[in-house]
Chain A
Amino acid sequence: MTDDGGNDEARGLTGILAQLRELSDGDLSGLTQALDQELARRGTGSAAVHANRFLDAIIENIPDMIFVKDAEHLAFQRFNRAGEDLLGTPRSALLGKNDYDFFPKDQAEFFQAKDRNTLESKVLLDIPEEPIETKNGLRWLHTKKVPILDERGEARYLLGISEDITARKTAEAALVRAKEAAEAASRELEAFSYSVAHDLRAPLRAIDGFSQALLEDYSGVLDGEGREFLSRLRLAAQQMAQLIDDLLNLSRMTRSELRRLPIDVAALVRSSAESVQLACPGHRVQLVVAPDLSVSADPQLLRVVFDNLLGNAWKFTRKTPGPRVEVGMTSDRDVPTLFVRDNGAGFDMAYVKKLFGVFQRLHTANEFEGSGIGLATVQRIVHRHGGRIWAEGMVGEGATFYFTLGSEEQST
């Protein structure tokens, strides 16, 4: 306290001490008078009183609980409104009392141990989380305890500032629970997918395998129609196996971790096109790739995007003379946008919304085969990157798929 109030106080006390020495022979009336005068002087708007009111107003309106305890008894000397609200106790019931008067013994012990510790070490103590039993139930506080030293460096008071972090704690706990639930669900899904992958395929192998065995060993007792039925059985089993694989793939695309790296898109596209070409022998497509395309994306996931988009482009140009597929970069509202364009069968823009739905198909299996999962997978990968995907097309004129890949912050 180095303000004017402090100096006034010191001067006043010096005067009283001087009188004490003078009157040490026994006459105390002068001292009483001097004390009265001094008290009166202090009570009528001295600078000290102004400073006190000023501080009171600040302390009173700080939204955190503020308390001051004396170093000796750890009894409350000051308390503010936020503290009253927090504890549900008026300050009149607190002032002059200590923690043992309000809190369960173990809590009072905990608080006072921290108080003593602060007063002894004479440095600020930060308690990030402490529980406190109040009339309004259990609350969590973030408390700072500050020793207030006198001019000789002795700890005289303890200042406490407590922020009520109960809402944050509750939200954090809810978040942890939600995360655990999501992880449990994800593990269950993992186990489910595994079971699907393993157990659903086994009967399909039996259907296909024994149909083939019938065709091989009993073709003599089957007529053409009978053999045709068995061939259809086999085809259906194989289609279902493909469907299972595609669905598992879709689910894997959602769960696998996304790792962004700089990618040479042209190289990726050429490698993807090679494998697509291998799967479509006899269908030669002219591929045009813009050079120097580079993006930041998950390499494995982006590969799946191109495998699907190029696979579609190859598939839907099968009946087109001079099939041509182009991959390049354009800009959509200043966002770099990759595109894959073909001159194949195209589609009617009236159905564009159905394009990216799981199991949605715009062609019959007779026209173009497919499971209706490929573009749903692509869309999911693009969304995981925080990007968007859309398509333009016209029947008989080809289709163009555009997509962006978002940024690191938009990835999920």
Chain B
Amino acid sequence: MSDHANDKVILLVEDNPNDEMLTLRALQKGHVTNTVIVVRDGAEALDFLFIRNAHAGRDPKLTLQVILLDLKLPKIDGLDVLKAIRADERTKLLPVVILTSSAQDQDMVSSYSLGANSYIRKPVDFNQFVEAVRQLGLYWLVLNQTPSRSAG
């Protein structure tokens, strides 16, 4: 992730290393070639987004295209991360896709209520996961249009 100033970067918020590897593999299998930055808990996600603490030195011109957000995360959980994203002028228009194990109605309702753009349950079948990620990449990275000033 050396030169991604003009790249459409994906931020993956995922604490499980297996899921991280599988998600990266699924993105690659789905021909999503964008740079993926991985953060491993909710607090780190917010640090990255708001350019502070450990991420105070990151390139501020970097353009995020979509955030893939797990719900169950250490320190600050996914819903609270989502709340913080929507509450801040710098990030409130960023597309956020919930990528989670949970198929609980309550999680879906909370996610959409808090302004999630999409909700995907990670399938156990890896081929289905690849297909889901491929469609996700196609939609959010190719088809979807966002205002140019929206990214953090």
Which A residues contact B (CB, under 8 angstroms)?
194, 197-199, 201-206, 208-213, 234, 237-238, 241, 245
Query: Contact: B126 with A209, CB < 8 Å?
Result: yes
**Which A residue sits closest to B71, measured CB to CB?**
A198
The yes or no answer to B89 lying at the interface (CB within 8 A) is no
Give bound CA distance, A199 to B71, whole Å. 12
Secondary structure at the B interface, as helix, strand, loop or mixed, is loop
Binary contact track B125-141/A, C-beta < 8 Å → 1, others 0:
11101000000000000
**Closest CB of chain B to A38's CB: distance in Å?**
84
**Which residue of A199, A206, A234, A238 is within 8 Å of B18 (Cβ)?**
A206
Which residues of chain A come closer than 8 Å to B22, judged between CB atoms?
205-206, 209-210
Which residues of chain A come closer than 8 Å to B53, judged between CB atoms?
none
**Closest CB of chain B to A330's CB: distance in Å?**
34
Interface size on B, residues (CB 8 A): 20
Which residues of chain B come closer than 8 Å to A237, judged between CB atoms?
124
Give bound CA distance, A241 to B36, whole Å. 28
Which residues of chain A come closer than 8 Å to B127, judged between CB atoms?
212
Query: Contact: B102 with A205, CB < 8 Å?
Result: no
Give bound CA distance, A400 to B34, whole Å. 55
**Closest CB of chain A to B7's CB: distance in Å?**
26
The yes or no answer to B25 lying at the interface (CB within 8 A) is yes
Which residues of chain B come closer than 8 Å to A241, judged between CB atoms?
124-125
The yes or no answer to B146 lying at the interface (CB within 8 A) is no
Binary contact track B102-119/A, C-beta < 8 Å → 1, others 0:
111000000000000000
27 contacts between A and B (CB under 8 A): A194-B102, A198-B102, A199-B101, A201-B101, A201-B122, A201-B124, A202-B101, A203-B18, A205-B19, A205-B22, A205-B122, A205-B124, A206-B19, A208-B125, A208-B126, A209-B18, A209-B21, A209-B25, A209-B126, A209-B129, A212-B126, A213-B25, A213-B126, A234-B126, A237-B124, A241-B125, A245-B103
Give bound CA distance, A211 to B124, whole Å. 12
**Closest CB of chain A to B144's CB: distance in Å?**
26
Query: Contact: B126 with A198, CB < 8 Å?
Result: no
Query: Contact: A197 with B18, CB < 8 Å?
Result: no
**Closest CB of chain B to A301's CB: distance in Å?**
14
The yes or no answer to B100 lying at the interface (CB within 8 A) is yes
Which residues of chain A come closer than 8 Å to B16, judged between CB atoms?
202
Give bound CA distance, A72 to B84, whole Å. 71
